[in-house]
Amino acid sequence: MTGSSQRSTECKISFNVNGHATSLQIHAMERLLDVLRHELGLTGTKEGCGEGECGSCSVLMDGLLVNSCLIPALQANGASIVTIEGLTADSSAKGLQQAFLKCGAAQCGICTPGMILAAFHLLSKKPQPSVDEIREGLAGNLCRCTGYMQIVEAVAEVARSGAAR
Amino acid sequence: MKNSNIVGASVPRLEGRDKISGQARYVDDMKLPEMLYGATVRSRIARGTVRKINFGSEINWEEFVIVGPADIPGRNCIALIDDDQPCLADGVVNHPEEPLLLLAHPDRHLLAKAVEAITVEYDSLPAIFNIQESETLAQVIWGVDNTFKTYLIEKGDVDAVWERADYVVEGEYTTGAQEQLYIENNGMVAQFDAEKGVTVWGSLQCPYYIHKALMKLCGLPADKVRVVQMETGGAFGGKEEYPSMIAAHAVLLAIKSGKPVKIIYDRMEDMTATTKRHPSRTRHRTAVSKSGKILGGEIEFTIDGGAYKTLSPVVLSRGAIHAGGAYYWPNVRIRAKAVATNMPPHGAFRGFGAPQSLFALERHMDRIAEAVGISALEIRRQNFLKTGQTTTTEQVVHEEIDLDKLLDRALKLSDYHAKKEKFAADNQQNGGKKGIGIAAFLHGAGFTGSGERFLGSEVGVEVRADGGVRVLVSSTEFGQGTKTVLCQIVAETLGLRYEDVEIAQPDTQEVPNSGPTVASRTVMVVGKLVQSAAIGIRDTLKASGKIADSYSAEEFRAACQAYVEKNGTFRSIAKYEQPEDVIWDEEKYRGSAYAAFAWAVYVAEVTVDPVTYSASVDDFVALQEVGKVLHPTLAKGQIIGGVVQGIGFALYEKVIWENGRMQNGQMTNYIIPTSADLRSIRVHFEELGNVHGAYGAKGIGELPMDGPAPAVVNAIADALGIPFDSVPLLPEDIFDALGDGTAREDVFSSPREPGGR
Amino acid sequence: MRAQPAEYELVAPGSLPAVLALLAAAPGRWLPIAGGTDVMVQYSAGKLPARKLVSIWNLPELRRIENLADEIQIGAGCTYTDLRECEVINREFGLLSAAAGWTGGIANQNRGTIGGNIVNGSPAADSLPALLVYEAELLLVSVKGERRVHYSSFHTDYRKTQLAPDELIRAICVKKRFSEYYAHARKVGARNAQAISKICLAALGRIAKGVVEDIRLAMGSVATVPLRLSATESVLKGKRIDRALLRLARAAAAAEVRPIDDIRSTARYRAGVTGNLVAEFLERLSAGGTKSE
């Protein structure tokens, strides 16, 4: 992973976002969250805390759940990023999204994109998680509205039916 | 033929698709051409005067828009109940983080650096930081005696009860500040146009509060101020009044720069500078008979309002009125007081005074029970309000509420008796101490007393050209389901499909003032108005012969289309009228305080860990009577969400203050529960109906905030045999209360030698 | 976000030799950043003093786990998730995989590294007590070569380590001799997940006929560095576990730790709970713990 620089703090990064190859000239220490929201206009990923606690900024990077507020742009060079927009566009989380709607798992919606990413990631690693495993898998995503029960219910329902997609 | 099964069914959340796909647009998702970013320079001291403001030379200030108090076109205040809170402190500082100056710049990154480059020299004054300090009057920081407001509620003759009391039970209970911690930080975008005036878009609960505040700040007439609500990521009261401040700031920068300005707080700024739940102190002195009947009592309820009046009188009012809870007090004196301190003003947070006074009361009931030598259940049964009796404000309970039966059902659902017995036995052994506790309470929905009448809320329902209808309210959606439920009501009322009803984005240019989205009033009060407005549409169509008495949804839509084709659009307005049986005396503070009360019994089961002294909630039963459940999934979601916030209030959420400034203003240090912290929360409803609410509904948004803290603390007291009278109750507090090592070991001692099996 | 990206230089040379060359050319000038779960928090708060950073994220030389005959070598760039998913760590070094599971949420576990946890040097770090009781050794690498140091002396003071300005940790070495020990770890945090520890204990013990043959206790958040409770251990070694010993253990442990009052907890709570944690371990050890928990 190398970066060439014009001015010493800038670099060119090439990465894949939601299936699209993308290149940007950007400050190396720009947060991935800001790259997504400001440079690429993908505002579905949210900032709740800026300290990696709330999980609202969760995306998938090379298949792994990460907090994009803690990733400098340069470290995303060469990576494959999936955001809520990507999951929606290719319907890969359709079952999960339906379950969220049905179970009341989204109230104000601000934690929802991150929560769906986290649930999707959990189910991709463990298609049949127990309730405790669901709770643990989502413990890095804070929600203030729902009290979590209906979110856990939604994920459990998807796990039962085996229909994340 | 009317459609049924819309109200009462869990129809899809109206804006749900957008929320689960990342398409919902919150204020920080907005971008306008040439938009600048704004930031606030804030006081570092709690009290004093500003001697000098220095602008560091490392910044090129020419690039910045700088706004100070002199730039305010109208009045330098954030208009609310009083006008004492400045928009920008003008030489005098009364709390840490008080706004002094505003900056704007196209580069949002540079702003933080610029804020740091401004240094302020102060002449500090002695400051006060809690209720006790405020009461000593060693420093008078507001008015003549640091008192924003007092209330006196008197019923019967309390002075006469003491001599015939078999027991006199006293207690003092305190609650700490609590941060709303909506996951979306506060933010506003503002634009100014010499012709059109001022427009703001933001994360907010009350568009018309902001509208009123901006009119005064800018000296502009109503039609030159426009406020639009964006999708709002949680609020819980934390975006009731504070957004007016941010809107004012963004507007001032927009006016001065001639460009749109966006202000988005980061988490630390939001936590340290904006409102929190009022800290409280409640003192009870109760005269009780041998059998446990309350003969009378004195209640002193005091809240810390912070540096300016803001909404403290209203929080005080609700807290005072709820201080007697769900019990019959034949004689009572409630003295309520809101005092000033040099803290950022405290403000609205779900429950709004009631969680504070009900915590005290429900703890006190357990204390009374112990003094009298009866159970926590029996003390409540002896005193529950019954139909026909009056509350502390002498409001007659007309409905057929049976709190005894409600308690019975809660006990059954929670398996209370078996568990209590089992825990008492198990607690003799090794290991964690288990306890079970209850809280029985009520919550009045809608504005207090004459509040709804003063609000004079107005709603509209409009027919669309395509045959559908559109709801026009200033009531906002921020997760609780406003949009969904109001559309359900209209669809049900008109016999339309749920999909035929839409709701306008709250925009003061488009929608009438249906009042603020607070006080658990939206479904009950606004819902009923929306229902009336819808009926107005139906009646108009009937009167014009477009529909018969009985019609199908298709016929209705066709009728709307025809009507619009012929007459242009039609808007039916409904305006609030105080029901005749809801009479309130504002002077004596007596009468029908609320159009409806919801009633609840909550049961908490806890384990206190013998190693860490952490209390965890293993099971929680939330049973409430709510009039009518209009949307089961949403209603359940409201209760669970409120219960978890209440558990946070009890066990996790502590604001750490130093010289009036919050020290733990980060999500890593201000602790709310994660999904891994909660096990089982079981929600059940009863429905008695409500003549004053749409389809019989009562407000439920705040109810679940009142019960968890006392239920949990009662359970911990049950587990350990020690009373606790303060929240938050942290493991460190339990540790300290257990005393020295020997005493601690006695509570947790294991009778067997280690090594055995 | 309170930092200006334009003021920070971040480079990613892409290989360990290239990174080491950079560090050697200007020792102390370049702050290594791996997963960023500590550095980026400081950065966003506007509290990162460094202005030049070098990325060591995902360097293959740092991110492998070598399972040798008598020890394992865990690359410093291994993430907590890597640790949790490693079979030999789960089997033989359960205290480490437990600690990895305590840290943050899944997203932070996917990025935070054990090397970062060590070098960040916070006494609250979750993995460090485990490394103390396993008597880990660190392989430190620079352009000058490699050296092996005892982890027990690596932390010299609050957030200060023996790491030279041109060095990186290449790997953490733990000897495979603890499978017969009873292992126990417990973290005390403000909530069940995503909590910085108030205190935590990692413990290993071996008993025979109710008598303590060997015991190792290490704690986090009770001193300026992660602390091995050697004095308490010597009080316990060779003794029979009974009620009297538990009392002794509590008192010794509470006296050995040097906790403070801070934003998360109080010194007296930490001291008291220290005693409880040690007593709890001894009770479990004596109740028949003969293998890892």
Average pLDDT value for residue range B6-33 = 98
Q: Which residue in B has a C-alpha nearest to residue A105's C-alpha?
A: B637
C8 CB neighbours in chain A (<8 A) are 9, 27-29
Q: Which class for B96: exposed (0-12), middle (13-18), buried (19 or more C-beta within 10 A)?
A: buried
Cβ–Cβ contact C255 with A under 8 A: no
Please list, in sequence order, all residues whose beta carbon lies within 8 angstroms of the beta carbon of residue B539, skipping any fewer than 6 positions away.
Answer: none
**Judged by CB atoms within 8 Å, which residues 98-137 of A form the interface with C?**
118, 121-122, 136-137
For A88, which residue in chain B has the nearest alpha carbon?
Answer: B21
Chain A, residues 16-55, CB within 8 A of chain B, namely: 37, 42-51, 53-54
Give the span between the Cα atoms of B711 and B319, in whole angstroms: 18
Look at the alpha carbons of B92, B98, B102, B105 in this order and tell me if their dihedral is positive or negative.
positive
| Cα–Cα–Cα angle for B464, B467, B472, rounded to 5 degrees | 35
Whether A71 and A38 share a structural domain: yes
Residue A48, min C-alpha distance to chain C (Å):
11
Range from B345-349, B416-420, C155-159 carrying the lowest mean pLDDT: C155-159
Query: What is the percentage of chain B residues whose pLDDT exceeds 90?
Result: 94
Are A99 and A114 in a shared domain? yes
**Nearest one of C80, C60, C127 to A65, comparing CA atoms:** C80
Give the integer Cα–Cα distance in Å for B83 and B64.
Answer: 30
Claim to verify: residue A53 and residue A110 sit in the same structural domain: no
Amino acid residing at B478: F
Whether residues C104 and A70 touch (CB distance < 8 A) is answered with: no
Distance CA B651, CA B673 (A): 9
Amino acid, res. B305: G
Q: Would you state the pLDDT for residue A162?
A: 78
* C206 DSSP β-pair partners: C214
Nearest CA in chain A to B668: A53
Q: Distance from C68 to chain B by nearest Cα, in Å?
A: 37
Q: Which of C48, C273, C281 would best serve as a mutation to test chain B binding (most B beta carbons within 10 A)?
A: C273
Which sign does the torsion angle of CA A107, A109, A115, A117 carry?
positive
In terms of residue numbers, what domain contains A156? 91-161
What's the pLDDT tens digit per position in B667-720? 999 999 999 999 999 999 999 999 999 999 999 999 999 999 999 999 999 999
Instruction: Output the pLDDT for position B755.
Output: 41
* Contact criterion met (CB < 8 Å) for C193 and B677: yes
pLDDT band for B431, please (50, 70, 90 cuts). Answer: confident
Are residues A65 and A128 located together in one domain of the fold? no
Query: Which of B182, B185, B675 should one mutate to test binding to chain A, selecting the residue with the greatest count of A CBs within 10 A?
Result: B675
* Residue A8 pLDDT: 78
3-class secondary-structure state, position B705: helix
Instruction: Name all contacts of B399-403 with Cβ < 8 Å and 24+ positions apart.
Output: B399/B688, B399/B689, B399/B690, B400/B688, B401/B599, B401/B625, B401/B688, B403/B326, B403/B440, B403/B599, B403/B601
How many CB atoms lie under 10 A from the CB of residue C242? 15
Domains C7-176 and C182-286 share a fold: no
Closest residue in C to A29 (Cα) is: C5
Position B579 pLDDT exceeds 90: no
Q: Which two tokens stand for residue B422?
A: 């089992």
Q: Are residues A96 and A83 in the same domain?
A: no
- Chosen for mutation from B613, B735, B742 (greatest number of chain C CBs closer than 10 Å) is B735
Structure tokens at B293: 């009947």
CATH architecture for residues B16-24+451-575: 2-Layer Sandwich (3.30)
- Last residue in a domain, options A61, A87, A113: A87
Kindly state the DSSP code that residue C11 receives in the 8-state scheme.
E
Architecture per CATH, domain B31-125+180-273, reads as: 2-Layer Sandwich (3.30)
- Cβ contacts from A onto B, under 8 A: 162
Q: Distance between CA B188 and CA B196 in Å, rounded?
A: 18
Question: Can you give the pLDDT at residue A5?
Answer: 45
Subunits in contact with chain A (3 or more CB pairs closer than 8 Å): B, C
Chain A residues lying within 8 Å of B15, measured CB to CB: 109
Q: Rounded CA gap, A40 and A37, in Å?
A: 6
Q: Say if residues B448 and B314 touch (Cβ distance below 8 Å).
A: yes
- Same domain, yes or no: A32 and A66: yes
Q: Do A71 and C111 touch (CB under 8 A)?
A: yes
Q: Which amino acid is at A68?
A: S
d(CA B66, CA B114): 11
For chain A (165 residues), the mean pLDDT of every run of 10, in chain order, is: 58 97 98 98 98 98 98 98 98 97 98 98 96 97 98 97 69
CA C104 to each of CA B679, C38, C113: distance values in angstroms, whole numbers, following the listed order: 20, 11, 12
For position A111, which CATH number holds? Answer: 1.10.150.120
State the smallest CA–CA distance between residue B110 and chain C in angstroms. Answer: 6
pLDDT per residue over C106-132, tens digit each?
Answer: 999 999 999 999 999 999 999 999 999
Binary contact (C12, A50; C-beta < 8 A) = no
Report d(CA A62, CA A43) in Å as an integer.
Answer: 20
Q: Is residue A21 part of a domain?
A: yes
Please report, for chain C, the start and end positions of each structural domain, with discontinuous segments joined by +: 7-176, 182-286
Q: How does B228-238 read in b/e, with b if 16+ C-beta sit within 10 Å?
A: bbbbbbbbbbb
Query: How does pLDDT run across C243-291, given as a tens digit for each residue?
Result: 999 999 999 999 999 999 999 999 999 999 999 999 999 999 999 765 4
Provide CATH code, domain C7-176. 3.30.465.10
Cross-chain residue pair C242–B614, CB shorter than 8 Å: no
- A133 within a domain of the structure (yes/no): yes
Judge: C1–B109 Cβ closer than 8 Å, yes or no: yes
CA Rg, chain C, in Å? Answer: 19
**What is the reported pLDDT for B430?**
75
Residue B479 reports pLDDT greater than 50: yes
Q: Which of B81, B473, B457, B69 is nearest to B240 (CA)?
A: B81
Q: Is residue B745 scored above 70 in pLDDT? A: no
pLDDT, averaged across chain C:
95
Last residue of a domain, one of A23, A57, A87: A87
Q: What is the pLDDT of residue C288?
A: 72
CA-CA distance, C115 to C119, in Å (whole number)?
6
Asked whether the predicted pLDDT for residue B104 surpasses 70, the reply is yes
Count up the domains in chain A and report the number: 2
Q: How far is CA B282 from the centre of its chain?
A: 19
Task: Mark whether A124 and A68 lie in a shared domain.
Answer: no
Residues B280/B178, Cβ–Cβ less than 8 Å: no
DSSP letter at B277 equals: P
Q: Which chains share 3+ C-beta pairs under 8 angstroms with B? A: A, C
Q: Is residue A2 in some structural domain?
A: no
A113 touches B at CB < 8 Å: yes
Tell me the residue type at B206.
Answer: C
Are C78 and C67 contacting, i.e. CB atoms less than 8 angstroms apart? no
Per-residue DSSP letter, B327:
B
The pTM is what?
A: 0.97
Contact state of C53 with A29 under an 8 Å Cβ cutoff: yes
The reply to whether A134 falls in a domain is: yes
Strand partners, B119: B54
Tell me how far apart the terminal alpha carbons of chain C are, to the nearest angstrom.
Answer: 42
| CB-based contact B732 C269, cutoff 8 Å | yes
Q: Please tell me which residue of chain A has the smallest CA distance to C10.
A: A28
Chain C residues touching A53 at Cβ < 8 A: 194
| Paired sense of beta strands B458-463 and C182-188, if any | unpaired
How close is the nearest chain A Cα to the Cα of C11, in Å? 7
* Residues A83 and A143 both lie in one domain: no
Please report which residue ranges of B146-241 form alpha helices under DSSP H: 207-218
Q: Are B380 and B407 in contact (CB under 8 A)?
A: yes
Tokens linked to B229: 């609500």
Task: Name the residue with tokens 């017995």.
Answer: B421
What pLDDT does B582 receive?
Answer: 83
What are the structure tokens assigned to C214, written together? 């060997």
Q: What is the CATH T-level fold of the domain B280-448+590-741, as seen in this structure?
A: Aldehyde Oxidoreductase; domain 4 (3.30.365)
Asked if B77 and B216 count as a contact pair (C-beta separation under 8 A), the reply is yes
- B752, pLDDT greater than 60: no
Contact: C46, B116; criterion CB under 8 Å: yes
What's the alpha-carbon Rg for chain B, to the nearest Å? 27
DSSP notation for C58-127: T-GGGS-EEE-SSEEEEETT-BHHHHHT-HHHHHH-HHHHHHHHHSS-HHHHTT-BHHHHHHH--TT-SS
Please name the residue that has the structure tokens 């969680």: B355
Q: Any chain B CB within 8 A of the CB of A106?
A: yes
Q: At what angle do helices B527-543 and B482-494 cross, to 10 degrees?
A: 30
Interface test with C, best of B113, B430, B611 (most C CBs within 10 A): B611
Tell me the residue ranges of DSSP E strands in B144-218: 147-155, 167-175, 187-193, 197-202
Strand ranges (E), B305-428: 332-339
Where does CATH 3.30.365.10 sit in chain B? Answer: 16-24+451-575, 31-125+180-273, 280-448+590-741
* Degrees to nearest 5, angle at CA A114 with A110 and A116: 105
Are B669 and C263 an interchain contact pair (Cβ–Cβ within 8 Å)? yes
Q: Is the CB of A9 inside 8 Å of chain B's CB atoms? A: no
Cα separation of C94 and C99, whole Å? 8
pLDDT for B251-284, tens place per residue? 999 999 999 999 999 999 999 999 999 999 999 9
CB contact under 8 A, C192 and B674: yes
Assign B580 to helix, strand or coil. coil
Is the CB of residue C46 less than 8 Å away from at least one CB of chain A? no
* Partners of C278 in beta bridges: none
Q: Is residue A1 part of a domain?
A: no
User: Residues in chain B whose beta carbon is closer than 8 A to a beta carbon of chain C?
Assistant: 108-110, 112-113, 116, 266, 268, 610-614, 652, 656, 663-664, 668-669, 671, 673-677, 731-732, 735-736, 741, 744, 753-757
ipTM of the complex: 0.96
Q: A105: closest CA among B636, B653, B137, B719?
A: B636
End-to-end CA separation in angstroms for chain A: 33
At B464, which helix (H) or strand (E)?
none
CA angle B590, B593, B594 (to 5 degrees): 165
The residue in chain A having the minimum alpha-carbon distance to the alpha carbon of residue B478 is: A108
Query: pLDDT (tens digit, 9 = 90+) per residue, B553-576?
Result: 999 999 999 999 998 889 999 999
Flag if B614 and C188 touch (Cβ within 8 Å): yes
Interface of C with B (CB under 8 A): 1-6, 41, 45-46, 105, 186, 188, 190-196, 210, 241-243, 246, 250, 263-266, 268-269, 272-273, 275-277, 280, 282-283, 286-288
Q: Which residue's structure tokens are 């059998």?
A: B291
Whether residue C200 contacts residue C126, with contact meaning beta carbons closer than 8 Å, is answered with: yes
CA angle A111, A116, A118 (to 5 degrees): 95
Domain C182-286 maps to which CATH number in 3.30.70.100, 3.30.390.50, 3.40.50.150, 3.40.710.10?
A: 3.30.390.50
**C243–B736 CB contact, under 8 Å:** no
Q: Judging by beta carbons within 10 Å of its beta carbon (0-12, 13-18, 19+), is residue B570 exposed, middle or buried?
A: middle
Residue whose token pair is 């003390």:
B379
Which of A134-150 are b and which e, b meaning 16 or more Cβ less than 10 Å from the residue's Cβ? bbbbbbbbbbbbbbbbb
Q: CB distance from A58 to chain B under 8 Å?
A: no
